[in-house]
Structure 1
Amino acid sequence: MAYLSFEEYDGAVSNEAEFKRLESQAETVINNVTRDFYRYHDLSADQNKFRVADFKQAVKEQIEYYAFAQASKSYEIQQGNYKAVSIGRLSLTPSDTNASDSVMPNGLCRESYELLAKHGLLFRGEW
């Protein structure tokens, strides 16, 4: 079940097939970190409209991140990490070699993580 339809989505991905692929991956990651909250509870029947809006925004942010990174799997994203780059006199060295861990806690981009956390959807106890 898609949490966000192509019609609801207003973002960088204009190809519907690509959107569906990225939405499916975002759904999988978000289901994992929310412990399937909206698989047990009906999203359309949720009375908390702020939580629903932020949840859908979290899905959108995750799709946007995947589109920006041009990857939707952790191993694809980690392949893009670099230790240092030198071009002529310019030299770039990241300060944190595990930057993907800080940007993507539990596989989520920071924006999605914050949206889900503020509603308690990252809660680790029993529902």
Structure 2
Amino acid sequence: MAYLTYAEYIDFGCTDFAADGFEKLAAKASGFIDSQTRDFYQLNDLETDIPYRRDKFKKAIALQIEYMYLSGASSSYEANTPQTWSIGRTSVSESSRYSNTGRNEAPSIISDDAILALSGSGLLYRGVKG
């Protein structure tokens, strides 16, 4: 289930790209953000929710779509590129963005910007509901 339209995505000021690829990314992004929010909007109506929380959620979806579009990865498999590769006698090593030790650590498919957008919304709460 996609929670965001292409027009809403553009309204958030995200990277403009061909609308024909949007639906696939929106569906995947919605699933990733659902996993972070414990499927809150699978159980509650997004459109009738308070605007503050609804808008933060939609912005997180937009940022997740942008992250996947710009990185060229829509799965954790695609996000994990090698840091060292060789062709013949030429070898290229990239420093790790995820570890100051240089070890190859897997980046998250979840956008840090999307998580920041959800901050303060209550949607990232991990406690037990009573």
Distance 1:99 1:42, change over 3 A: same
1:77 paired residue number: 79
- 1:17 maps onto 2:20 in alignment: yes
Aligned residue pairs total 117
Q: How does 1:1-127 map to 2 (within 5 A)?
A: 1-10=1-10, 11-47=14-50, 49-78=51-80, 80-83=81-84, 92-94=94-96, 96=99, 97-98=104-105, 100=107, 104=108, 107-127=109-129
| 1:46-98 superposed Cα distances (whole Å, 9 cap, x missing partner) | 12x121111111001000000011110001111x231478xx9x964336222
Cα separation, 2, equivalents of 1:83 and 1:122: 35
Q: Secondary structure at the match of 2:114?
A: helix
Distance 1:8 1:83, change over 3 A: same
Whose helix proportion is higher, 1 or 2? 1
Report the CA distance between 1:126 and its aligned residue.
Answer: 4.3
| 1:85-126 superposed Cα distances (whole Å, 9 cap, x missing partner) | 8xx9x96433622251xxx3xx42111112223212122234
Which consecutive residues of structure 2, in runs of 5 or more, have no partner in the other structure?
none
Which consecutive residues of structure 1, in runs of 5 or more, have no partner in the other structure?
none
| Alignment TM-score, normalising by the size of structure 2 | 0.77
Identity, % of aligned positions: 33
Contact 2:29–2:61, Cα closer than 8 Å, also in 1: yes
Cα separation, 1, equivalents of 2:34 and 2:95: 35
Q: CA RMSD in A?
A: 2.3
| 1:12-34 superposed Cα distances (whole Å, 9 cap, x missing partner) | 24222211110000011111121
Contact 2:96–2:105, Cα closer than 8 Å, also in 1: no
